[in-house]
Structure 1
């Protein structure tokens, strides 16, 4: 079962967005890494789903995307496309994981993440 493990908030003003979520909800916004501000939404005794805020790209300038953990990213991409999803960013490789961005058949942005 794919579980939601992260969220991404895209904004054209990520610092302002971070200040808002920090002030209203008490989220901890860390210093940016490559323009991505890591977000912690819970404590160890009451964890939340963590994520990040970054400046949205031209094809996703603002909005929220969930990241779904999968065991095989190629298989998940293939099945998603078969069922009507569109690929926004095909499989990308990072140090500890693979990541892809899609739009589901009804227009919602999602991310697929596979740990190495």
Structure 2
């Protein structure tokens, strides 16, 4: 079963978004890596929050809020998503410790595997 493990907020002005979310919600936001600012929403609380990040991408990048879903097999999940109407926006990419792909489902929900 896919498990929601994070979120990503996209902005063409990520520095402004970083300042906004830090000031308004008190989020702890790291220095950027790959135009991605890691976010911890657990600062100063005993409750567990969902962590994520703020990103900036190229002009054709899918903007908005995305959820990150951990799956056992990214290839199987992409195949099943496509069979059920999803569109691949960014093909599978390899990072240091994980793979990532961007899919658009029903033209409204953005999913990251």
TM-score (norm 2): 0.91
Partner of 2:17 in structure 1? 17
Check conservation: 1:83, 1:105, Cα contact below 8 A: no
> For structure 2, which runs of at least 5 residues remain unmatched after alignment?
none
Alpha-carbon distance in structure 1 between the residues aligned to 2:23 and 2:111: 26
Which residue of structure 1 aligns with residue 90 of structure 2?
A: 89
> Is the contact made by 1:18 and 1:29 (CA closer than 8 Å) also made in structure 2?
yes
- Do the aligned partners of 2:27 and 2:39 also contact (CA within 8 Å) in 1? yes
* Alignment root-mean-square deviation, CA: 1.5
- Matched positions, count: 112
Change (3 A) 1:95 1:65: same
8 Å contact from structure 1 (residues 87, 103) kept in 2: yes
The Cα of 1:91 is off from its aligned counterpart by: 1.1
Q: TM-score, normalised by structure 1?
A: 0.89
CA displacement, residues 43-100 of structure 1 (integer Å, 9 cap, x when unaligned): 4732211111111332236311101110000000000000000001111111100111
Q: Going by fraction, where is strand more abundant, 1 or 2?
A: 1
Which aligned runs of 4 or more in structure 1 are off by greater than 4 angstroms? Answer: none
Distance 2:111 2:58 in 1: 14
Does the Cα contact within 8 Å between 1:7 and 1:50 map onto a contact in 2?
yes
Asked if the contact 1:55/1:61 (under 8 Å) is kept, the reply is no
